[in-house]
Amino acid sequence: MPRVCGNDRFSVYVYDEYGVRHHLPHCQVVWSDGDAQVALPSLQVIVGTLPRGAHALLYDNLERICAKWDELNPRRTIG
């Protein structure tokens, strides 16, 4: 699971599907005491709750996060 971006508080990861299809493209946001799954490209939270500041990191790096999803999941690209 490669780390796509982050800052001093949050890290954003994207998985490849390894033959197991996810329900929809998403990324994982991880911080010191929690994590959340966020749909791509809508940035709708699927699982968990994003702390303040995490949404801005995702928005600012959305193009890079989506490109990594497409690279890791070429049969199921975002767009």
Structure confidence at residue 21 (pLDDT):
64
CA-based nearest residue to 60, from 74, 43, 45: 43
Structure confidence at residue 9 (pLDDT):
97
When comparing pLDDT for 21 and 7, which is higher? Answer: 7
Give the pLDDT confidence of 5-14 residue by residue, as tens digits: 999 999 999 9
Buried b / exposed e over 18-30, threshold 16 CB at 10 Å, is eeeeeeebbbbbb
Q: Is the dihedral of CA 72, 74, 76, 79 positive or negative?
A: positive
Domain positions in the chain: 3-72
